[in-house]
Amino acid sequence: MKKCLPLFVLALLAITSSAFAQDVITIRLGTVAPEGSPWASGLEKFKKMVETDSGGKVKVKLFLGGALGDENDMMLQCKRGQIQAFGGSTGAIASQVPEVNVLELPYLFRNAEEADYILDSVIGDKMAKHFTDRGLVLSFWSENGFRSFGGKFPVTKPEDLKGRKMRSQESPIHLETYRAFGASPVPIPTTEALTSLQTGVVDGYDQTPLYAFAASWFTASKHMSISEHIYQPAAIVFNKEAYDKWPKEVKDAITKAAQEVAPKLRKQIRKMNPILIENLRKAGVEVNVLGDKEREPFIKLAEKVRETYINKASAPEKELYKSITKGLQDLRSGKVKK
């Protein structure tokens, strides 16, 4: 009996270990955010908090820099359950949740504070339902930021874009905005944009200073024109079927991490923008900031983009747009505080 005891103990340990391993939930989270970027550091913190606060019930595996494909690809993977989570721009999220297109209408928001108010206090619950209706769970909003023009030439007026081949995110709003501004948009996945710039497939692009620097797009740019024509939120989303199966303590850990990481990540990104613009200049990129008068022609053309969008929009999109415009009116008039 004594000789058999060690074998029994080993077998018991093996069974216990196997059962424990089966209890660990693996969350595969994909993003195009490159290593070393604020998004990457924010997701690392999110990962650590979820793993710790879940009591070891969760293992989060991060796939940075488009390791699992482009944003649209990963968004579809998330919806299908091939990965459990995706962190990316609303331009990509809209490929599966078209209602978020409304957030990227050009010159919709004047500043980040307006965007925060709309996202956090006006449309949060309504937007979350559109995600669940499509088999997804909206965890938290962050941002890519305000997009501006970059490339081989300066942009100070719409005429500067006439006939120019501009890399566009694969989004109907982005494509329509470029057309309204007179450019010839070329939809190219984010992961292929730098090569397209380097080889001359396109003349320019629009992107935030943050991503243009983090993804090295600036190396193929001579100019960056700070037009801030589209504010682009970003979000962390989960596959709903997987999420619904997770125990309460896991969901609580995710919620806690989201509440901690989201506001800090937004602040970090915004704090870096002036530094990044200066770094672009130091890297040899000529940066010009468009003044109010220079933006006026773009804003007028943007109004036409919004009109076109609303005429074609679905009823839910129209309702969201109505809520957003009402919220912005209240905020700008002083009826509510930022």
Reading the block at residue 105, the tokens are: 């209408």
Mean pLDDT, range 249-261, rounded to an integer:
96
Look up tokens 């997009």; give the residue: 147
**What span, in angstroms and rounded, lies between the C-alpha atoms of 30 and 144?**
16
Distance spanning both ends of the chain, measured CA to CA: 75
Encode pLDDT of 198-211 as tens digits: 999 999 999 999 99
**What span, in angstroms and rounded, lies between the C-alpha atoms of 120 and 338?**
11
* Average pLDDT value for the chain: 93
Listed in sequence order, the residues at least 6 apart from 223 whose beta carbon sits closer than 8 Å to its beta carbon are 149, 150, 151, 152, 153, 154, 155, 285, 286, 287, 288
Encode pLDDT of 63-115 as tens digits: 999 999 999 999 999 999 999 999 999 999 999 999 999 999 999 999 999 99
**What span, in angstroms and rounded, lies between the C-alpha atoms of 71 and 17?**
37
Encode pLDDT of 27-76 as tens digits: 999 999 999 999 999 999 999 999 999 999 999 999 999 999 999 999 99
User: What is the DSSP-derived secondary structure letter of residue 122?
Assistant: I
Quote the longest CA-to-CA distance of the chain.
91
CA-based torsion, 323, 181, 292, 277: positive or negative: positive
The DSSP element (H or E) to which 19 belongs, if any, is helix 5-23
Encode pLDDT of 187-242 as tens digits: 999 999 999 999 999 999 999 999 999 999 999 999 999 999 999 999 999 999 99
**What span, in angstroms and rounded, lies between the C-alpha atoms of 218 and 283?**
8
Give counts: helices (H), strands (E), the chain: 13, 9
Encode pLDDT of 125-182 as tens digits: 999 999 999 999 999 999 999 999 999 999 999 999 999 999 999 999 999 999 999 9
Q: Looking at the predicted structure, is the pLDDT value of residue 17 above 50?
A: no
pLDDT value, residue 23? 83
**What span, in angstroms and rounded, lies between the C-alpha atoms of 155 and 178?**
13
Task: Look at residue 4 and tell me if it is in a domain.
Answer: no
Task: Look at residue 1 and tell me if it is in a domain.
Answer: no
Q: Where residue 212 sits, what CATH number does that domain have?
A: 3.40.190.170
Residue 63 belongs to domain spanning: 20-333
Res. 14 pLDDT band, cuts 50 70 90: very low
Q: How many domains does the chain have?
A: 1
Look up tokens 């500067």; give the residue: 160
Q: Indicate the pTM of the whole model.
A: 0.89
Task: Look at residue 55 and tell me if it is in a domain.
Answer: yes
Residue positions counted in the chain: 338
The count of C-alpha atoms lying within 13 angstroms of the C-alpha of 19, restricted to the half-sphere facing its C-beta, is 6
Task: Look at residue 84 and tell me if it is in a domain.
Answer: yes
**What span, in angstroms and rounded, lies between the C-alpha atoms of 295 and 283?**
26
Task: Look at residue 288 and tell me if it is in a domain.
Answer: yes
Task: Give me the amino acid identity at 287.
Answer: V
